[in-house]
């Protein structure tokens, strides 16, 4: 495990922090959170020249949801040549929905895998981090260097905390 965020992960953490501030001022609902995550992180992918797939927010040249809540694709001659990022988000507090979405990320061959969720307290966020980190460690098909950015919203503080898990 490492705590060294790369440029993309740093930008995502910054976007999430600004979203938390905006959400506090505007009292966002769960659907608004989902839309803003897709829109803001989708725009970050567009800035980097990627083809972005997401439902609810569709960039001009993108399409709806494809396999994950949000995907950045590198496409040449209509062929997918790389998957820089896959993202799942789950706003239900229960671990079942979080685990179901996270399990998709384990299967992904992408440079970055991002899981965004919320919990009532920091302690509950940390429990989810520990559980998901354990899943990464147990997954037999993980490859050295696989990156998982876990971001949990602590609803008590209305702020995101994150953990980066990298397969050794």
Note the pTM of the prediction, 2 decimals.
Answer: 0.94
Q: Which of 102, 105, 92, 38 is nearest to 65 (CA)?
A: 38
- Alpha helix ranges (H) inside 27-120: 30-47, 95-107
Q: Which of 147, 153, 161 is nearest to 6 (CA)?
A: 147
Exposure on the CB side of residue 147, measured as CA atoms within 13 A: 21
pLDDT, position 1: 42
pLDDT, position 2: 43
What is the secondary structure of 5-28 as a DSSP string?
--HHHHHHHHHHHHHHHHHHHHT-
**Residue-by-residue pLDDT tens, the chain, 168 positions:** 446 999 999 999 999 999 999 998 888 988 999 999 999 999 999 999 999 999 887 665 667 777 899 999 999 999 999 999 999 999 999 999 999 999 999 999 999 999 999 999 999 999 999 999 999 999 999 999 999 999 999 999 999 999 999 999
pLDDT, position 57: 72
């Amino acid at each position: 495990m490492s705590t060294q965020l790369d440029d993309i992960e740093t930008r995502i953490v910054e976007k999430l922090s600004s979203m938390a501030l905006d959400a506090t001022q505007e009292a966002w609902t769960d659907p608004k959170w989902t839309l803003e995550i897709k829109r803001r992180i989708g725009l970050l992918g567009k800035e980097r020249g990627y083809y972005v797939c997401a439902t609810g927010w569709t960039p001009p040249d993108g399409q709806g949801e494809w396999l994950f809540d949000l995907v950045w694709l590198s496409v040449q001659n209509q062929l997918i040549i790389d998957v820089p990022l896959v993202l799942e988000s789950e706003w239900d507090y229960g671990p079942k929905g979080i685990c179901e979405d996270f399990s998709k990320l384990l299967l992904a061959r992408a440079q970055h895998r991002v899981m965004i969720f919320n919990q009532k307290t920091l302690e509950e966020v940390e429990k989810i981090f520990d559980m998901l980190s354990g899943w990464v460690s147990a997954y037999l098909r993980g490859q050295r260097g696989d990156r998982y950015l876990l971001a949990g919203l602590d609803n008590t503080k209305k702020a995101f905390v994150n953990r980066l898990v990298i397969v050794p």
